Amino acid sequence: MAKAMTKSKVADYLAGKLDISKKQAGTYLEELANLAYREAKNTFTLPGLGKLVLVNRKARMGRNPQTGQPIRIPAKRVVRFRVSKAAKDAILGGR
């Protein structure tokens, strides 16, 4: 399996494609991430990829895998990324 692209490799690729400096591409990636963090509470959409959404999980019962005893898992808010249909089709191929 191929290795995942690092942030510097992504910045290098974008710099070559967009004819900008690697530093500018790195700054763009940082600002995009900061914008996503700030706007995630309102649902942040990356067109063509998907969106970040906040989901409220209900409290539930679980099991301690070591002892098998039931434990209560409290309710909490989690961040989810929902992949768009266009991204699924491009990655997995149309059915």
Other CB atoms within 10 A of residue 92 CB: 9
Q: What per-residue confidence (pLDDT) applies to 95?
A: 60
CA distance 40 to 63: 31
Q: What per-residue confidence (pLDDT) applies to 57?
A: 95
Q: What letter does residue 80 receive in the DSSP assignment?
A: E
C-beta of residue 74 within 8 angstroms of C-beta of residue 45: no
Q: What per-residue confidence (pLDDT) applies to 93?
A: 86
pTM for the model stands at: 0.76
Q: What per-residue confidence (pLDDT) applies to 2?
A: 80
Query: Which residues does residue 46 pair with via DSSP β-bridges, in sequence order?
Result: 50
Structural domains of the chain, ranges and CATH numbers in brackets: 1-40 (no CATH), 43-95 (4.10.520.10)
SS3 of residue 20 by DSSP: coil
Other CB atoms within 10 A of residue 24 CB: 13
CA distance 16 to 8: 12
Q: What per-residue confidence (pLDDT) applies to 31?
A: 95
Residues of the chain predicted below pLDDT 50: none
